[in-house]
Amino acid sequence: MPNGPDHIPDRICIDEEDRAIIKTMDDHPEADVRQLLSTNAPVNRSRKEQFLYFMAIGVAHNTKLPIKKRESGGFFLLKDLKPEDNTLIDAVAIWHEGKADVLSDRSKVLEIAEGYAHAGVRFVADSIESQQPGSFLKKIEQNLWSIYTKLNQESNANKSEK
Amino acid sequence: MRISKIALENYRQFRKLAIDFPQHMSSDLHLFVAHNGTAKTNIINAINWCLYGDEPYLSGESQQLPILNQQVMREIGDTGQADVIVEVYAVVDKDEQIMFERKCTYVWNNKSAPMRHGITSRVLVNDTKGNTQVLIDDEASNYVARSIPLGIREFFFFDGARLDNYFKHATAENINLAVLKISQIDLLNKVSDRLMEVRREIEKEVSKGNPTIEKARKEYEDVQNKLEELKNRVVKEKEQVEIAENKIGTYEDELKSCPNAEELEDNRKALKSRRVTNQEQYDKLMSRKCESLFEYGRIIPLVPALLKTDEIIRTKHVAGEIPPVADVSLLDNILATNKCEICKRSLDSNSREEITKLRQLILMSSTIGKELMQIEGIVTITLDRANRFSRDIEDISGLISNVEKELRQIQTNIDSIDSQLEGQNIERIKNIAEERRKFEKIRDEKNRLIGRFNKEIEDKQDEVKDKEKAWDRETKKEQALKSLVNERDACFRIANLLNKCRDTILIDTRDKIRIKTKEIFFSLLWKKHTFADVLIEDDYRIRVLNDLGYDCLGSLSSGERELLALSFTLALHDVSGFDSSILIDNPVIWLDPEHKHNFSNALVKVSKNKQVILLFHTDEYTPAISAILDSEAATRRRIKLTAQEKEVVLEVL
């Protein structure tokens, strides 16, 4: 059931512990990491962009983690989300639930997105720590190619089944 | 004339050294072998300094040093005086002994640079009757100028390392000059000049007392003087051109073994600038790629979610749930009236609850339908965007790869330049190149001036003829002066005759030189069938015709070129009657192994009839060369520096 206007959250939250992790990415000694994720100049990623990226990484690993302690101030305001951002969040919720009914519960949709982003933050952090210096971007590219190739193979298999 | 001994005292690296040149039974071949920097070329410089007072083959390093031996300055102390003496002993016609000597005193105080205090030159001539004639300074210089003229020294001091310049510098004019001087044809010129002087004297007499004639004579003389002035300026400018050419040749020799530092530095600078540009481009592309990876990183993993959403939207389209069509006004009316509008019954509590649930379900379905409608387009666009991942990333990666490749190439080129310049005194090379440019500029300017003067000379010559005719007309009016006029005309006719005679001799001489050059060239040549003829043009340009009749001078190998130059020199000596030794520095340095071998054999042949002194660099004096020359050589010596590297000593091989 959709919540009333009073219950709709106005911001996206992250886990309290994630804040410190994301902060290390802002000022990371590896240029690759900063170039991809830093909110500092000259990259100037927004919190919203970071969140959507972490969410996608969580989805890539098919892992959603429940947030243990929500950061009180929030990560960014929902008003910053553009239709194309909301579409990605909605799609994740639909995919997670397997049906579109979830869209009627905005809190649930956001809770799903936050759960995947929470997992994504941890995966990215692990990936940064485990890479050799200078190879972070290469690994990111490699992973993307691997997902892309797999999707293409699945798509071709589906076509041939039909 | 053959050199029998050279004595050097305090001359550059030579503290005190006498070099004898005894004649061998069968040949007159003398060999010196030396490493770089052991004053080998300074032996030729010493001879030049003794005879002419200059050192044309001085290396860049030696140019910075005083002519006075450094060791002697150290031995004498902070203040002192020492003489530099070079003596060249020569034998003419097997009997007449000549000693050429140049002496220069140097004085230094309190470690100051040595200052030259007086320079003297002497020539001692012992004739066959035992009389000794001593000639000093100007007389000595005149004797040298008569016996081995400065202008033609390149026809007996032969630099193998400067062969490429040989035909370039041996222009018609200096070959003509050489022929004139060494064959003493210039005597005719001197007589002709004297006759013209006598003619002018007579002309002065003729014009005395008659203002009209005097005026015409003066006008003629003025124009004639201007013409002479122009001719003298041309001669002076040509001398300057020759000096510049020699300097350019010297610098080119020095630069031959050095990399083109200026060009390389410019290239390196350009490469570094390109590297900066490419690096900036690389950084931009990497930044673009990073942006793309971030963008696609937010989309690609979500493709399954987007596909799922897309599938649901399509299903709902098929089911007619999109766009949502639910109208809850009927249910609202039933709930408001508490009566079913279809069966007209009143609602019990169960029915009311069911209708309320149904209403909420319809409303929810409608909300989801609307939401899905809103995102439908964006899902499609995002999936399309995801499909462009491969192309976009491959494109940008391709661009990055190209820039990386170019950056690597630039770095390789920079490294290559660095290695070429490593250990080189770049400043010195640049200075030499700058000096060469300076002299090239001077030469070009002088040549332009010469061209302008030549044009003016042509005009002036016409003017001289006009003035001469005018003056002649005036003079002929004076019958009383007839005999003087006849004398004057006779002088003119004889001078003309002498000039014609000189020209005929020159033509004849040139032809003899051609025949002799060809004869010697073909007798020494190892590939005789390749060439058909050697020609010497009117302007002394040498041409070598191949068996098909084409001029192939430009395509001669270094060995063949050197052989041709040697043949020409020998022919010049032979035809002119001028007999001197031949000194060749670095005789086979630029030749390939086969030509080294052949040319060495040719030198042995030449040494049967002429003194040949060869100065080899250690590297060019290979075992193969040694095998050819050693048994024929009258003397073989190694030039070495003492342990302190300040004094030259000779070691007999």
| pLDDT tens digits, B396-420 | 999 999 999 999 999 999 999 988 8
Query: How confident is the model over B276-304, as pLDDT tens digits?
Result: 999 999 999 999 999 999 999 999 999 99
Q: What is the pLDDT of residue B325?
A: 66
CA–CA min distance B413, chain A (Å): 26
Average pLDDT, chain B: 84
Q: What is the pLDDT of residue B393?
A: 96
Q: Is the model more confident about B111 or about B419? A: B419
Q: Which of A56, A98, A100 sits opposite B301 (nearest CB)?
A: A56
pLDDT of residue B468 exceeding 90, the answer is no
pLDDT of residue B175 exceeding 80, the answer is no
Disruptive mutation site among A88, A112, A143 for chain B (greatest number of B CBs within 10 Å): A88
Which chain B residue shows the shortest CA-CA distance from A154? B304
Distance CA B256, CA B254 (A): 5
Q: Residue B389 and residue A137: Cβ atoms within 8 Å?
A: no
Which chain A residue shows the shortest CA-CA distance from B367? A104
SS3 A132: coil
Q: In chain B, what residues touch A2 (CB-CB under 8 Å)? A: 364, 367
**CB pairs A-B closer than 8 Å:** 115
Q: Is the model more confident about B101 or about B521? A: B101
Reading the block at residue A91, the tokens are 């799609």
Q: What is the mean pLDDT of residues B259-263?
A: 79
Q: What is the pLDDT of residue A65?
A: 96
Closest of B621, B649, B623 to residue B31, by C-alpha:
B621
pLDDT of residue B39 exceeding 60, the answer is yes
Residue B151: pLDDT band by 50, 70, 90 thresholds? low
Phi (first) and psi of residue B29, to 5 degrees: -110, 130
Q: Residue A144 and residue B389: Cβ atoms within 8 Å?
A: yes
Beta-bridge mates of residue B371: none
Q: Residue A87 and residue B379: Cβ atoms within 8 Å?
A: yes
Alpha helices in B170-256 (DSSP H): 172-182, 186-207, 211-256
Q: In chain A, what residues touch B394 (CB-CB under 8 Å)? A: none
Residue B193: pLDDT band by 50, 70, 90 thresholds? confident
Percent of chain B with pLDDT over 90: 28
Handedness of CA B482, B488, B494, B496 (dihedral sign): negative
DSSP annotation string for A2-37: PPPGGGS-SEE--BHHHHHHHHHHHT-SSHHHHHHH
Residue A1: pLDDT band by 50, 70, 90 thresholds? very low
Average pLDDT, chain A: 90
Provide the angle, in degrees to the nearest 10, between the axes of the packed helices B261-299 and B349-387.
160
The answer to whether the CB of B68 falls within 8 A of the CB of B262 is: no
Q: Is the model more confident about B333 or about B375? A: B375
Reading the block at residue B309, the tokens are 């959403």
List strand residue ranges (DSSP E) for B537-611, in order: 542-546, 582-585
Most confident of A69-78, B104-113, B485-494: A69-78
Please report where in the chains the tokens 């003066």 appear, as a residue. B218
Q: What is the mean pLDDT of residues B313-336?
A: 82
Provide the angle, in degrees to the nearest 10, between the axes of the packed helices B426-477 and B261-299.
130
Q: In chain B, what residues touch A144 (CB-CB under 8 Å)? A: 293, 296-297, 300, 389, 393
Question: CB-based contacts of B592: which residues, under 8 Å, 6+ apart?
Answer: B557, B558, B559
Question: CB-based contacts of B288: which residues, under 8 Å, 6+ apart?
Answer: B396
pLDDT of residue B474 exceeding 90, the answer is no
